[in-house]
Structure 1
Amino acid sequence: MKTLALAGAALLALFSTIAPAMLSAEEAAPLELHHQVYGEGAPLVLLHGALMTIETNWSTSLGELAKANTVIAVELQGHGRTADQVPGLSYQTMADDVAGLLDRLGIEKASVMGYSMGGNVALQLALRHPERVERIVAVSAAASDKGLAPGHKEMVQHLTPDMFAGAPMVAEYQKLSPKPDFAALVEKVKQLELMPFDWTADLTRIKAPVLLVAGDADVVTLSHLAEMHAALGGHANGDVNGPSRSQLLVLSGTSHMGILADPAKAHQVAAAANAFLSAEAK
């Protein structure tokens, strides 16, 4: 049972999919985000998953992405070198934080690539600040908690900070955080994960092209991915209808965690993202 608990905790560390706002944009000014810039080309903002940092999320793919883009790798609220705030986490306020960063950097419009929690933040950025988003690559993101694999929330309910004891991500957090409190961060991620949400209908408002990426054994179900793809302007029978504005890539034999844990998979996703980001607009 201890082994199963540790495995579940490690898996959740890479999850992130859920939650309506806990604070409106009017209640919290955008947080100043730690960020790092690499490469040359059109701007591409990278948004990590829950409990992760720039290094732990993007180390196997950042180099490939920076070959074709000016990569702006971000650490979100309470993660890595970015300060925490008293309120809990919400995708909406984290999206507003990213918009604030674009303001500070003088970037009018950028593409955004996010993994898990970061993928949901990318979708919220497009919903809340559509004029700021060129294209989106959403990896292992969900638009509804109804689209998550059975048993996910049950696993989250039993999550405790002790399950991460000895994990490298804890040492990384303790080293980088300006005011480390890993137990508090775990609790905030847990509450984010347990909140119901459904943005599926809202996706029709996103006009930026979107590439959805997931594993065939991901925490996001294949049926929900198909539903998201349709809402984002994807359609069947391209021979008749032409290429879709939005696209869907499903990696075979791949779990949520496996997308990052396997360097070959991470490289495959980065290459697909570069191709999507550089393609002519439809």
Structure 2
Amino acid sequence: MNFKEISLKAAGLLIGIIVLGILISLPFYFHDMSRLNKTLKERSKTIDSPYGTIEFVDIGEGKPVLISHGTMGGYDFGLLTAQGFLSGNYRLIIPSRFGYLQSSIPSDDSFEAQADSYAYLLDQLGIDKAVIAGTSAGGVPAIQFAIRHPERISSLILISTVAYSPPSEFKAQNLPIPGFVYDALLKNDYIFWAMLKVSPSTVHSIIGASDNLKNNCSKEELELMDKMGWALMPVSKRYQGWNKDAENINKLEEMSLDRIKAPTLIIGAEDDTFAPHAWSKYTAKNIHNSKLITVRFGGHMLLGHMHDMRRLSEEFIEKNFTSHGEGKMVIDNNKF
């Protein structure tokens, strides 16, 4: 038997093993997907609006905090993000942004329209004023809310936020995998499910939590990363939102940051490659009533700093909820 024949037989055996593995795994895959889809629908509500269907959760009691979740998310991912930087002492309003899960993509799918849809949702819930917290790409509509609806916001929190910076200060994203790989992964639920089963650390890296960064995590943070990985499923129901985010980020223009009067807390990491810290620094420099907190190491997920994040955000909310527009904070170089 020559080398070519051996190679063909080996390739055939490998393909056979892969096919067999897929066939064996399919019942488990369909079971998990059925459970996930059922849970997603049971936990959320939907309303019709001028922006199409808005899906959201409204849970907890206390001061209202609207969470504007990041790319690849949905209300469920936003809820886990909130658990990372807030206590349970707030009323959390978390919509799935345009194109995520059951939320529609309206004809005007801009970040400005997304901000206006937040105001509409707050109207329907009878909430006059709220804390607006934006993470990652969700930071842009949060910023636009503060610009467009200043009377509705008590304070603004931006965490690892995507934002505009001028060419002289711009620093490009450096993603762990090329964009076209994200594009392929977010179309295929089975492949992503298999990755979560076989190599969850690979999924963690995709959302900015490398093994090196996880070495500095608490047990609670590691458990949260596992939940966040599964909160990306089904990825096919988040693909449209991810695609729209990518389009809107690529054409992002300078925003009127000087019009923001709400007290603003900005937290970012120097080693964040998803939302380079130069973006946060530029945003803080141009929002006059802002405070910038810089993390030296922690990446996009600010790993290793969960308790600090909770303390900082909660102190900030409590200080500023009833004093919108009062006081003056200065940008500083606080680091932890």
What is the TM-score of this pair, normalised by structure 2?
A: 0.60
Change (3 A) 1:198 1:106: same
Aligned to 2:268: 214
Change (3 A) 1:267 1:87: farther
> Does 2:161 match 1:161?
no
Aligned to 2:142: 122
Specify the SS of the correspondent of 1:141: coil
Specify the SS of the correspondent of 1:193: helix
Unaligned regions of 5+ residues in structure 2, if any? Answer: 1-48, 197-227, 328-336
Amino acid in the other structure paired with 1:265: H
Structural mapping, 1:49-198, within 5 Å: 49-59=70-80, 61-62=82-83, 65-80=86-101, 82-85=102-105, 87=107, 89-146=109-166, 149-152=171-174, 158-164=180-186, 165-166=191-192, 175=234, 183-198=239-254
Amino acid in the other structure paired with 2:284: H
Provide, for residues 59-116 of structure 1, a one-character-per-residue CA deviation record: whole Å limited to 9, x for no partner.
2642863533222122111213x32225374211110110100110111111111101
Aligned to 1:268: 308
Provide, for residues 171-220 of structure 1, a one-character-per-residue CA deviation record: whole Å limited to 9, x for no partner.
75665x9xx65554443233123214111xx1111110000111111244
Amino acid in the other structure paired with 1:198: E
Change (3 A) 1:156 1:112: farther
Q: Which of the residues 243, 251, 262 maps onto 2:295?
A: 251
Provide, for residues 151-182 of structure 1, a one-character-per-residue CA deviation record: whole Å limited to 9, x for no partner.
559x776455323441568975665x9xx655
CA distance in 1, matches of 2:161, 2:152: 20
Change (3 A) 1:72 1:149: same
* 8 Å CA contact 1:60, 1:267 repeated in 2: no
Unaligned regions of 5+ residues in structure 1, if any? Answer: 1-27, 234-244
Specify the SS of the correspondent of 2:73: coil
> Does 2:315 match 1:278?
no
Change (3 A) 1:174 1:151: closer
Larger Rg: 2
Change (3 A) 1:116 1:222: closer
Aligned to 1:36: 57
Please give the root-mean-square deviation of Cα atoms over the aligned residues, in Å: 3.1
Further displaced range: 47-56 or 94-103? 47-56
What is the TM-score of this pair, normalised by structure 1?
A: 0.70
Amino acid in the other structure paired with 1:85: I
CA distance in 2, matches of 1:151, 1:141: 12
Change (3 A) 1:122 1:182: closer
Change (3 A) 1:77 1:208: same
Higher RCO structure (Cα 8 Å, ≥6 apart): 1
Change (3 A) 1:246 1:160: closer
Aligned to 2:221: none
Change (3 A) 1:98 1:32: farther
* 8 Å CA contact 1:120, 1:138 repeated in 2: no
Q: Which of the residues 5, 28, 46 maps onto 2:67?
A: 46
* 8 Å CA contact 2:76, 2:231 repeated in 1: no
Aligned to 2:287: 232
CA distance in 2, matches of 1:73, 1:66: 15
Change (3 A) 1:36 1:30: same
Change (3 A) 1:85 1:204: same
* 8 Å CA contact 1:204, 1:232 repeated in 2: yes
CA distance in 1, matches of 2:318, 2:150: 19
